[in-house]
Amino acid sequence: MNQLNYAVKRVLQIVPVLLMVTILIFLMIHMIPGDPARLILGEKATNSAVAALRAKLGLDQSLPAQYFLYLKGLLTLDLGTSLTYQRPVTELLLVSLPITVSLTLISTVFSILVSFPLGFFAGMRKDQAGDQAVRVTALAAIAMPSFWVALLLMLLFGVKLQWFPVGGWGETPTEHLKSLVLPAFTQSLMTSALLIRNIRNSVVDISVMDYVDFARSKGLSNGAVKYRHILRNALISTVTLLAMRMAYMLGGSVIIETVFSLPGLGKLMVDSIFGRDYAVVQSLVFLFAFMVLVINLLTDLLYSCLDPRVKF
């Protein structure tokens, strides 16, 4: 099977998975207690106002009728209208998606810039002082709660030095970029630490492989052996881990987004669940599922580029 056939087959497999996701999320969000109409109207709402709003929002229809309306909307790329905000869900996603995607991309770049050199450095110096220092630092990064790191960074770089804004999204592209530095750095800490440990362990394992000795015995330079034979092979498992972390970050980190006042997908998701905003929750879960499936597919396809032994 060539790469194209494999990709087509995987894309076709995505369809039933997504259909199952729509059924599961629809049932789950409707089964948990809480009336969106009452939440919208607030604590001072009378029963008659709640009943009137339920009728207006279509919440008085049967569950199957509501599900088929939702499915019909999906098929026509209409994600519906937010119950809470009375705006098209697409409009809300278009506000939040760029923020989360930008945050994820910058976090990923930070993670790669930090973890690849440090992981490789530690792996090549197994059990030496440099290796120990990197491992302890990575462990500390995993152990530190992200909200605590976020507050410290804001205090230092926002309040004291005033290099970056204390949260917020700003108004211009430059302000957007500056607004993303601290949250991206905070978010990248955990990913960097995990990648460092993974790369370090892979490098340690691969360094003692026969093909590495063979490459050296062929007379290849030290650099060629390290980067072409050790690092490249170490990247296979790292790419999987990085893809998983990217999928996780695209789902949005509600803590990072809340502390840094970034209206991304994570915060939108949590607010929508608390507000029982069915249309938004359903659309977001669908979107997350779609993104995870696509990232997994791309990761599998990338394997064959990194390792010629991988065939489809």
Partner 1 sequence: MKSSFLNGAVLSLAALLASATSYPAMAGSVANRIVVGRLGDAAYLDPNAPSVGVGEIPITQQIYEGLVTVSHDGTSIIPCLATDWKISKNGLVYTFNLKAGVKFSDGTPVKGEDWVWSLLRARDLKTSSYRFIAEAIAKVEATDKQVVITLSKPWAPFLADLCNFNMVVGSKAHYDKLGETAYNMTPLGTGPYMLKDWKKEKSILLTANPYYHVKGLPKTKEIMFTVVPDDNTRLMQLQSGQIDIANEIPFSLIDTLKANRNVKVSIFPSTQIRYLILNTTTPPFNDPKVRQALVYGINKKEISDLVAGQFGAPVAALVSEAEGKWHNAKLKVVSYTPETAKKMLAAAGYQKPVAFTLSIRSGNEIYTQVATLLKSQLDKAGFNVTIEMLERASMSAKYTSLTHQATVLQWIDDITDPSGITGWTVDYDQCHAWYTGLKDQPLNDLNTAASKELNAGKRLAMYHEIQKRVYDNANVIPLFRNGFAYACSSKVNGLYVSPFSVFFAKDLTISK
44 in contact with partner 1 (CB under 8 A):
yes
Task: Name the one range near partner 1 by CB under 8 A: 8-16, 72-80, 88-96, 136-144.
Answer: 88-96
The reply to whether 167 sits near partner 1 by the rule CB under 8 A is yes
Instruction: Based on the shown chain and the rule CB under 8 A, indicate whether residue 152 belongs to the binding site for partner 1.
Output: no
Name the maximum alpha-carbon separation found in the chain: 85
**DSSP for residue 275:** T
Nearest to 109 by CA among 171, 195, 173, 168: 195
Contact yes or no for 146/187 (Cβ under 8 A) = yes
Contact 135, 123 (CB under 8 A): no
Q: Please report how close the Cβ of residue 35 comes to partner 1 at its closest, in angstroms.
A: 6
- Least Å distance, CB 36 to partner 1, is 8
Nearer to partner 1, 92 or 293 (CB): 92
What is the rounded distance in angstroms from the CA atom of residue 89 to the CA atom of residue 218?
Answer: 60
Site for partner 1 in 221-240 (CB under 8 A): 223, 226-227
Q: How far is the CB of 297 from partner 1 (least distance, A)?
A: 29
Asked if 170 interacts with partner 1 (CB under 8 A), we say yes
Q: Site size for partner 1, by CB under 8 A?
A: 68
How long, in residues, is the chain? Answer: 312
Q: Tell whether residue 26 is a contact of partner 1 (CB under 8 A).
A: no
Query: Inter-axis angle of helices 3-31 and 278-306, to 10 degrees?
Result: 150
* Of the candidate residues 163, 209, 228, 307, the single one contacting partner 1 (CB under 8 A): 163
Query: Which of the residues 258 through 287 are near partner 1 (CB under 8 A)?
Result: 258-261, 263, 267-268, 274-276
State yes or no: residue 137 binds partner 1 (CB under 8 A).
no
- Residue 88 has φ and ψ, to the nearest 5°, of -60, 140
Integer Cα distance of 288 and 248 in angstroms? 9
- Distance between CA 79 and CA 117 in Å, rounded? 43
Choose, by CB under 8 A, the member of 178, 207, 236, 248 that binds partner 1.
Answer: 178
| Those residues with Cβ within 8 angstroms of residue 153's Cβ, 6 or more apart along the chain or in another chain | 182, 185, 186
Q: For the chain, how are helix, strand and coil distributed in percent, rounded to 5? A: 80, 0, 20
DSSP designation for 4: H
Q: Which of 2, 48, 62, 217 binds partner 1 (CB under 8 A)?
A: 48
95 contributes a contact to partner 1 by CB under 8 A: yes
Query: How buried is residue 297: exposed, middle or buried, by Cβ count under 10 Å (0-12/13-18/19+)?
Result: middle
Rounded to a whole number of angstroms, the minimum distance from the CB of residue 115 to partner 1 is: 9
Binding residues vs partner 1 (CB under 8 A): 32-49, 52-53, 56, 84-87, 91-92, 95-96, 110, 113-114, 116-117, 120-121, 151, 154-155, 158-159, 162-171, 175, 177-178, 181, 223, 226-227, 258-261, 263, 267-268, 274-276
